[in-house]
Amino acid sequence: MKDLERQLEQSWITNAEAWTQSVREKQIESRKLVTDQAVIQEIMRHQPAKVLDVGCGEGWLARTLAEKGMEVVGIDGSNELIKLAQQSGGGIFYTVNYTDLCDNPKQVGEQFDVIICNFSILSEVIVPLLQALSVLLSKQGVLIIHTLHPFAVTEREQYEDAWRKEDFQGMGEGYQAEMPWYFRTMSSWLNDLHQAGLRLIHCKEPIHPLTGKPLSLLMTAQKADDREDE
């Protein structure tokens, strides 16, 4: 597992320029058609003043939210991607990997109204990360997780928790390394949220306009001890 985790981290360093080109030139069909707008709408629904973008990449989402008047902090484990984000502005950006974040969550700030993980939770063990992020939420703040829909598995794949490989085919040119990532079922997502002390308060399944099938899964959670009537 540790080897796969290292490969996962390294892939974002190796592929930083290729990924940035794919995002900025809108070369990923699913994002262009559905998922980018879906995550923006879900964030806006909560009218946050302060947002933490976890796994911010080259910063497109942070820039979009900053343009709408929000204070945005973006973090990523790839220093190459953070440099590209800083060059384009739109927020405060830090190079922080998830291990360091778990050790010292408040190094990136605190009292965030929204924490967004936009296709950025890709590791096998995620409960410590979810627990660390919950510490950073404001009262009634929400954690939004946007991920591949668990039902979006091919007929050749088993519906079970397992490491998979992303080869970036169809996302543009220049990718030099495959990316291992951990697929989890719907029940695993829900169980991990519960184990981390979070409760699901909203769920959305953005649909491909042509196929009618779900492209992604948006889960919005709060700390379990946060109640609106308190």
pLDDT attached to residue 157:
84
Q: Token digits for 148?
A: 């591949």
Distances (CA, A) of 176 to 15, 166, 168: 6, 12, 10
Summarize pLDDT for 14-71 with one digit per residue, the tens. 999 999 999 999 999 999 999 999 999 999 999 999 999 999 999 999 999 999 999 9
Q: Are strands 50-54 and 112-118 parallel, antiparallel or unpaired?
A: parallel
Average pLDDT over every residue of 128-152: 96
Predicted TM-score of the model (pTM): 0.95
Q: Does domain 2-223 have CATH number 3.40.640.10?
A: no
Backbone torsions φ then ψ of 148, nearest 5 degrees: -60, 135
Query: Are the C-beta atoms of residues 46 and 58 closer than 8 Å to each other?
Result: no
**Portion of the chain with pLDDT greater than 70, in percent:** 97
From start to end of the chain, where are the E strands? 50-54, 71-76, 92-95, 112-118, 137-148, 162-166, 179-183, 198-204, 216-223
